[in-house]
Structure 1
Amino acid sequence: MDQNVDRLVFAGTGDAMGVPRVYCDCQICEEARSTGVNRRFRSSVVVAGPDGEFMIDCGPDWRTQMEMAGKRFIRDIVITHAHFDHIGGLPEWADACRRLGIKGQLYTPQEVIDIILRQYPWLNRHLELHPIDEGLSLASWEVKGWKVNHGKNGYSYAYRLSKPGITWVYCSDSIGLPEDQKQPLYGLDLLVLGTSFYKEEAEYAGRSVYDMTEALELLAEVKPGRTIFTHMSHDVDIRKDYGLPEQVALASTGCTVSLTKE
């Protein structure tokens, strides 16, 4: 892909446990161990283009994701929320910053910063932590976050990113969004949405992320130009035809899409 074109790279497309699950011998986990089509690291993306690059989320697979991409460092990372699958790689990133003598730049709302520093109180020796409650500009993208319902797991933040000609949203961890939280999803060229299962059978009160059937109902309402599902568990086989609409796709590890209006 043209390096002068803005692009989105899926460094990780898995749910909190990733695929394969170490204890599991289901067909999808076994396939992930062999040919690796369904191998999924914890969800994270890289936004790259002629004006710079940044990552969204830094989970425990961060080092492996960087190695697979042939990267030795990344300076800017935006965090959606302070759950381990989204911040577990921060100590390794901070160590890279220490070794290279470069201050990493972490961006997230203040309440998320507060939780991160309670878990890793030494991080601000190597990282600069920027509260972005009012939004920010990064690599020529205008980025605005808002709190979304994460079911039994509390809350996460979704991010709406805009520049002339395209607006898209990254919303990896959400379920049952009320009307006010849906509003930023209207008028999008692209929606990246977390869907852990095709059809989750667990009791709704104990769940935390949309399944695909529920997500399709949401898409019918907010009508993005195209949608990519991520944050998928070992229930999802990306080789399978789920009968999704033409404008809806499943992310695969390492896949890259252009951030241009189609």
Structure 2
Amino acid sequence: MEVTLLGTGDTTGTPTVGCDCDTCERARSMGVERTRFSVHVESASGGTLLIDFSPDFRYQFLREDCDPPDAAVVTHIHFDHLDGLGNVYRLVDELPVYATDETDPTTGESVAQTVRGRYDYLDAVSVEPTAPFETVETAGLELTLVPVDHPPLLCYGLLVEDSETGSRLALSGDTSYAIPDRSLDVLSGADLLLADGIVPAENCEYHPMGGRHHDDAGVPRTFGDKHMTIEGARQLGDRLDATETRLVHLSHYIPADRAFAEDMAVDGARFEL
């Protein structure tokens, strides 16, 4: 399985438009970036999967020279994970898009229903409603969506297993540290974990809700209530016993001298699992 990180940033990306903070300037000087989140996976059999549709879809695929996907999965309906779907217009003849069938109390519809409703003009796209914890096979891969914690919307983590080699990629999804135990069991033991970590724990003092899910040393593992801190994401990697962990969904609010540590992903990183 080959995993290409197309987008590793948060909602605004790094560098952020109009920003000259030290972290954005460091990214520019290094020639790296973190566009909005998306991951490309190629199975051992040659099938390709796209995880989430970044608004930066066109740029990402041109930059990394990736072919359009054979299948896709949507973890939740926030714009930075979904609004790139329109880019597949005229690029594919058919594209099954897997999304959960669980009704969200906030929206009154499932992720699958929202995707279908917003993109019903894309004749090539077929939305495949999928139950949480149900494993489906596509593009030489086995996919299992699992609930995580990203209020107020339902959001899902994902396990991707290569049907031929058994290699395993896990994504925490956009989440706080409060991932349900059953979901943790599914995500554990991966060859590579992509963990949502948006800012260092010290930044919680600037959030109206502060920090949550403190560890034994009093360090918050959740920033506000939606995303893990850097420390929380690293602890999740240890807890899930991942062979490798890379932090994604990173913001430009990480101090420049720490923003590009080895485990903090940048766009274009590739992994052979």
Superposed, which structure 2 residues align to 1:112-261 within 5 Å?
A: 112-123=111-122, 125-133=123-131, 134-150=134-150, 152-163=151-162, 164-175=165-176, 176-199=178-201, 200-201=203-204, 202=207, 203-204=210-211, 206-236=224-254, 240=258, 249-259=263-273
CA contact (8 A) 1:44 1:59 kept: yes
Identical counterparts, % of pairs: 28
Query: Distance between the aligned counterparts of 1:74 and 1:141, measured in 2?
Result: 13
Superposed, which structure 2 residues align to 1:99-114 within 5 Å?
A: 102-110=93-101, 111-114=110-113
Which whole-Å deviations, capped at 9, do the CAs of 1:119-144 have from their partners, x for residues lacking one?
Answer: 33423x23111122232112322211
Q: How far does residue 85 in structure 1 lie from its aligned partner after superposition?
A: 0.3
Q: How far does residue 26 in structure 1 lie from its aligned partner after superposition?
A: 0.7
Query: Distance between the aligned counterparts of 1:66 and 1:181, measured in 2?
Result: 30
Counterpart AA for 1:198: P
Residue 55 of structure 1: SS of its match in structure 2? strand
Query: Distance between the aligned counterparts of 1:40 and 1:217, measured in 2?
Result: 22
Show structure 1 runs of 5+ residues with no match. Answer: 1-5
Aligned in 2, Cα 1:66/1:231: closer, same or farther, shift over 3 Å? same
Counterpart AA for 1:232: L
| Residue equivalent to 1:41 | 35
Residue 224 of structure 1: SS of its match in structure 2? coil
Q: How far does residue 64 in structure 1 lie from its aligned partner after superposition?
A: 0.5
CA contact (8 A) 1:44 1:56 kept: yes
CA contact (8 A) 1:238 1:250 kept: no
The 4+ residue runs of structure 1 with deviation greater than 4 A are: none
CA contact (8 A) 1:10 1:255 kept: yes
Aligned in 2, Cα 1:50/1:222: closer, same or farther, shift over 3 Å? closer
Residue 249 of structure 1: SS of its match in structure 2? coil
Query: Distance between the aligned counterparts of 2:30 and 2:241, measured in 1?
Result: 35
Residue 198 of structure 2: SS of its match in structure 1? coil
TM-score by length of 2: 0.80
TM-score by length of 1: 0.83
Moved more, 54-63 or 107-116: 107-116
Which whole-Å deviations, capped at 9, do the CAs of 1:129-179 have from their partners, x for residues lacking one?
Answer: 1122232112322211111111x3422111112244432312231112233
Query: Distance between the aligned counterparts of 1:109 and 1:216, measured in 2?
Result: 27
Residue 155 of structure 1: SS of its match in structure 2? coil
| Residue equivalent to 1:8 | 3
Query: Distance between the aligned counterparts of 1:224 and 1:89, measured in 2?
Result: 29
Residue 160 of structure 1: SS of its match in structure 2? strand
RMSD across aligned positions (CA): 2.4
Q: How far does residue 34 in structure 1 lie from its aligned partner after superposition?
A: 4.4
Counterpart AA for 2:189: G
